[in-house]
Amino acid sequence: MILAVVILNISLDCFGAFLKVRMLLFKYQKKRKIVLIFHISLTYNFLKTAIHSTLGFQNSYVFV
């Protein structure tokens, strides 16, 4: 049961992250530094979410 919740949380986070990346790439196609910084931030947030979900702290995901 807990594993299913963790997988669902990570899946939702992945989908949200994918949408944000698509929107950002569309908006800032010529500003590669901004996109790179965003990808680093996104990766950090995703790892943080995965760790929190694994430890049982659901819904502690914050997009910077």
In-domain check, residue 21 = yes
Distance CA 23, CA 4 (A): 29
In-domain check, residue 32 = yes
In-domain check, residue 46 = yes
Distance CA 22, CA 9 (A): 20
Distance CA 20, CA 7 (A): 20
| Residue-level pLDDT at 53 | 65
Query: For the chain, what is the domain count?
Result: 1
* Secondary structure tally for the chain: helices H, strands E: 2, 0
User: Which residue range forms the structural domain that includes residue 15?
Assistant: 2-55
Give 63's DSSP letter: -
10-48 confidence digits (pLDDT tens) = 666 767 777 777 776 666 666 666 666 676 777 777 777
In-domain check, residue 64 = no
